[in-house]
C-alpha cells in the first residue's frame, strides 16, 4: 500500500519574481506565503550551487539556485607556494648557490664602488676590508 506522491504544481513567473525580490524569506507559492520555511544544506556540482527548501505551513518544497556574485581574496598571505613546500631544502641548494654567485658577479662587475658599498653594507669596516685584503 504505497502512497504515490502527487507531483506539486510549478511556480509561476510572478511567484518566482516576488520570491527573488524578497530574498527568499517566505514560501514562494502565492496561496501560502508563510515565513515558516526551512532550507537544507547547500549542494554543489559543476553546474552550480543549490539548496532544497520546504514550507512547514503548506508542505510544499522548492529549490533555491545560487549564482556566483563576487570574489575576494583570502585574509592571510600564503606561506610557500604548495609545490615548493613539497621540496626538501637540499633540493634548492644549487639554485641558491647559483643565484648568489650571479649576485656576486654583478657586484664585482659594478667596479670598486659597488664592491666597497656591498662589503660595508654587509657589516665590514674599512679597517677590516683593508686587513682582509692584506699585504
Ligand atoms: Zn507554503
Cα 69 to ligand 1 centroid, rounded to whole Å: 28
The model's pLDDT over 27-48, given as tens digits with 9 standing for 90+, comes to: 999 999 999 999 999 999 988 9
Higher-confidence position of 73 and 4: 73
Query: Ligand 1 centre and the CA of 93: distance in Å?
Result: 67
**Residue 2 clears pLDDT 50, i.e. is over it:** yes
- Compute the distance from residue 56 Cα to the ligand 1 centre, in Å: 7
pLDDT attached to residue 135: 63
| Domain span at 46 | 13-66
How far, in Å, from the CA of 98 to the mean position of ligand 1?
71
Could you tell me the pLDDT band of residue 114, with boundaries at 50, 70 and 90? very high
Residue 111 belongs to a domain: yes
Residues 56 and 96 occupy one common structural domain? no
- Contacts of 26-34 with CB under 8 Å at 24 or more apart are 27/55, 27/57, 27/58, 27/60, 28/62, 29/55, 29/58, 29/60, 31/58, 32/57, 32/58, 32/60, 34/58
Whether the CB-CB separation of 37 and 27 falls below 8 Å is answered with yes
Task: Let me know whether 18 and 62 are in one domain.
Answer: yes
Give me the pLDDT at residue 111, please. 93
Please say if the pLDDT value at position 65 is more than 90.
yes
- Percent of the chain beyond pLDDT 90? 74
Same domain for 92 and 58: no
CA of 32 to the centre of ligand 1 (A): 5
Mean pLDDT of 69-83: 89
Query: Is 94 found in the same domain as 61?
Result: no
What 3-state class would DSSP assign to 54?
Answer: strand
Residue 1 pLDDT grade (very low, low, confident, very high; cuts 50, 70, 90): very low
35 closest CA partner among 52, 58, 14: 58
Distance (Å) from CA 99 to ligand 1 centroid:
69
Q: Tell me, what's the pLDDT at 3?
A: 62
Sign of CA dihedral 45, 46, 47, 50: positive
Residue 18 lies in a domain: yes
- The rounded Å distance from CA 24 to ligand 1 centre is 12
Q: How remote is the CA of residue 122 from the centroid of ligand 1, in Å? A: 75
State the distance from the centre of ligand 1 to the C-alpha of 52, rounded, in angstroms.
14
Contacting residues for 124 by C-beta, under 8 A, at least 6 apart: 132
pTM, whole model, 2 decimals? 0.56
Residues 91 and 52 in one domain: no
- Is the pLDDT at 92 greater than 80? The verdict is yes
Q: How many other C-beta atoms lie within 10 A of the C-beta of residue 113? A: 8
In a domain, 71, yes or no: no
Looking at the fold, whether 20 and 62 belong to one and the same domain comes out as yes
Which grid cell is 30? 502565492
User: Does residue 117 form part of some domain?
Assistant: yes
Amino acid at each position: 500500500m504505497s502512497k504515490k506522491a502527487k507531483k506539486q504544481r510549478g511556480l509561476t513567473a510572478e511567484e518566482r519574481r516576488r520570491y527573488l525580490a524578497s530574498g527568499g524569506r517566505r514560501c514562494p507559492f502565492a496561496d501560502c506565503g508563510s515565513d515558516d520555511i526551512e532550507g537544507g544544506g547547500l549542494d554543489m556540482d559543476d553546474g552550480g550551487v543549490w539548496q532544497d527548501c520546504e514550507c512547514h505551513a503548506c508542505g510544499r518544497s522548492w529549490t533555491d539556485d545560487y549564482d556566483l556574485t563576487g570574489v575576494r581574496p583570502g585574509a592571510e598571505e600564503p606561506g610557500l607556494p604548495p609545490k615548493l613546500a613539497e621540496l626538501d631544502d637540499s633540493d634548492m641548494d644549487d639554485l641558491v648557490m647559483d643565484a648568489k654567485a650571479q649576485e656576486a658577479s654583478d657586484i664585482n662587475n659594478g667596479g670598486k664602488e659597488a664592491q666597497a658599498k656591498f662589503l660595508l653594507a654587509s657589516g665590514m669596516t674599512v679597517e677590516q676590508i683593508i686587513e682582509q685584503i692584506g699585504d
